Amino acid sequence: MCIQWDTTSIIVADTEFDFEEWKTTCTENLILVGGPVSNIIVRKLVSGGFSAVDWATSPGEWEYILKPYSTCDVLIVAGKNRDATREAAFKLMDQL
């Protein structure tokens, strides 16, 4: 069975996402792709002390953050550069 997704309703650029609203009225968990250099939401989670990964040296991994703002969870998929981030995404897909 193949599930069809309407990607226009689930994929949002970090610059178009209202993170401040999400923190207080969250109804959905987030999957964030890209480290703090390329993703402003990841940057906010890192600067807020929620992420324990050193993304600048990461070979590509994911980090699950349980309810950073007492509401929904966050999954960060990233690495030290685009190739490492891509590798992290492939590793995650292999686990699904």
Give the pLDDT confidence score for residue 1 in this predicted structure: 58
Contact 80, 55 (CB under 8 A): yes
Q: Of the candidates 40, 34, 47, 11, which has an alpha carbon nearest to the alpha carbon of residue 83?
A: 34
User: In the chain, where are the structural domains located?
Assistant: 22-95
What's the confidence (pLDDT) of residue 63? 97
From first to last of the 96 residues of the chain, give the pLDDT tens digit.
566 666 566 788 999 999 999 999 988 999 999 999 999 999 999 999 999 999 999 999 999 999 999 889 999 999 999 999 999 999 999 988
